[in-house]
Amino acid sequence: MKYKQRVALQKFLSARSEREFSADQLVVPEKGLFLNYSDLFLAYSKDLRRLRSNPAANIPFIYLDRSDFNACAFEHDGHRFIAMNWGVVVLLHDLFFRMLASPDVLKHIGNPSSERRHPKHSRLPINAKDLPITPQQPFGFSIDPNDPFRGHYAVYLAQLALDFLFMHEHQHSSGGHLHFENEIPESQISELELDTWTGDLLTRHVLELEADSMAANFIVGASYESSRYARRLPPGIADHLSSKEFCYEARFFAVFSLFLLMEETSKNRRGTHPSPIFRMWLITVIGMATSPMREKTQSDDVNALLSYAMSIFKEVDIAFSAIADRPEPKKFVIERIAPSDMEHKDRLGTHWLKMRPRLLELAKNHGSWCMPTSFIHQFAWG
């Protein structure tokens, strides 16, 4: 990080009584877990900068010294940053460990008969400090799969979700979203906490879907299993990467789990984010461009593809119910879209068309690795 960036970062953190977290602490040697993704995220950012040949797209990434679940893009003194609470890394790994430790979850992965049912969370944890931390389990992780392959698969899902979340924040920053409604930018866009957004909520929904679109475009890309990425894959997973169905099911499961976790644990009551059903729908539209989904459904029909995505979302819903008591489970897994959802989808599509010229301008000026696509338009009008 350059000197001026470091000064701007310290000013921003000081004004908000925040502290940077040393990711070297994110190591759990007894489980073979090395949870420091900082170098990888920075490498991603540099790769994306080269795609656009624009130095402005090299955005520093930091961990914040907070144990709750949140990630954000922010700007201070003309310098842009991406931040993630260290709690995000721990909570996502705990989530997928618990899921794969249940014999009722993803029964076709590994050997589920070696697993047993564990006590459920009374509620989904939104703070890593709520996990059962002991000297032997410094980050919780008191429950993990007995089957080694299911354990490796859990780590793989956590990595996929973290990559998606990082790329989502990267697009908020490199896409100029902080500047959309004001020349003086919004200082911060957060995933869960109340942030400084003061603009129109429909505009914010489109920006969130635009960030989702770019993140999904990244992880469904043919180059995602690059040599850099493959070097950090859990043992045994690399042998399955030749199976497109294996890869795409994992990606959808990980991202849908991330959406549902953020919805069920959200502290943000202003409605700055679209519901999981819209976010899932958009990711499905992006998946339509991929041969694995067409091969799976034997159809290019959007309803068949949406049905395939719904089947994965149902697996996610089963997994959440297996690890936590949910007095009133969210009924996002539905067979058809409600009329009110269709109306909102139409509004989003119309609003996106109005926003698109400004989105293109901001993406060009701020060094986005990928220009705004027609995915949202296909989502709204397809």
Residue 5 main-chain phi, psi, to 5 deg: -65, -40
Band of the pLDDT at 335, cuts 50, 70, 90? very low
b/e 28-49 (16+ beta carbons within 10 angstroms → b)? beebebebbbbebbbebbeebb
5 lies in a domain? no
Average pLDDT over residues 94-123: 89
Can you give the pTM of this predicted structure?
A: 0.88
List, in sequence order, every residue forming a beta bridge with 21; answer none if it has no partner.
63
Taking alpha carbons only, the member of 89, 90, 101 closest to residue 151 is 101
Return d(Cα 372, Cα 370) in angstroms, integer. Answer: 7
Structure tokens at 63: 């961990």
160 lies in a domain? yes
Give Dmax over CA atoms of the chain in angstroms: 58
141 lies in a domain? yes
The strand ranges marked E within 118-268 are: 188-190
Return the SS3 of 250: helix
Q: What share of the chain has pLDDT > 70, as a percent? A: 72
Beta strands at 33-34 and 61-64: parallel, antiparallel or unpaired: unpaired
Average pLDDT over residues 64-86: 87
Average pLDDT over residues 90-98: 90
Q: Give residue 210's pLDDT.
A: 86
23 lies in a domain? no
Q: HSE (CB half, 13 Å, CA atoms) of 292?
A: 19
Band of the pLDDT at 113, cuts 50, 70, 90? very high
Band of the pLDDT at 147, cuts 50, 70, 90? very high
Q: HSE (CB half, 13 Å, CA atoms) of 119?
A: 4
Domain span holding position 285: 88-381
137 lies in a domain? yes
- φ/ψ bin of 188: left (φ > 0), alpha (ψ from -120 to 50), beta (otherwise): beta
Please count the other Cβ atoms lying within 10 Å of the Cβ belonging to residue 335.
Answer: 7
Residue pLDDT, tens place only, 277-334 = 778 777 776 665 554 545 554 455 566 667 777 788 888 888 988 888 765 545 544 4
Q: Give residue 149's pLDDT.
A: 92
H or E segment and range at residue 41: helix 38-52
Q: Tell me the Cα Rg of the chain.
A: 20
27 lies in a domain? no
The domain tally of the chain equals 1
List, in sequence order, every residue forming a beta bridge with 83; answer none if it has no partner.
62, 72
Q: What share of the chain has pLDDT > 90, as a percent? A: 10
Return the SS3 of 114: helix
Look at 5-19, 145-159, 217-231, 338-352 and tell me which has the smallest mean pLDDT.
217-231
15 lies in a domain? no
Average pLDDT over residues 247-261: 87
- φ/ψ bin of 143: left (φ > 0), alpha (ψ from -120 to 50), beta (otherwise): beta
**Tokens 């040697």, located at residue:** 29
3-state secondary structure 9-42: HHHHHHHCCCCEECHHHCEEHHHCEECCCHHHHH
Cα separation of the two ends of the chain: 43
Please count the other Cβ atoms lying within 10 Å of the Cβ belonging to residue 351.
Answer: 17
* DSSP codes of every residue in 331-366: ----SS--HHHHHHHHHHHHHHHHHHHHHHHHHHHH
Return d(Cα 292, Cα 285) in angstroms, integer. Answer: 13
**Residues whose CB is less than 8 angstroms from the CB of residue 274 and which lie 6 or more positions away in sequence, other chains included:** 205, 208, 209, 348
Band of the pLDDT at 16, cuts 50, 70, 90? confident
Beta strands at 188-190 and 71-76: parallel, antiparallel or unpaired: antiparallel
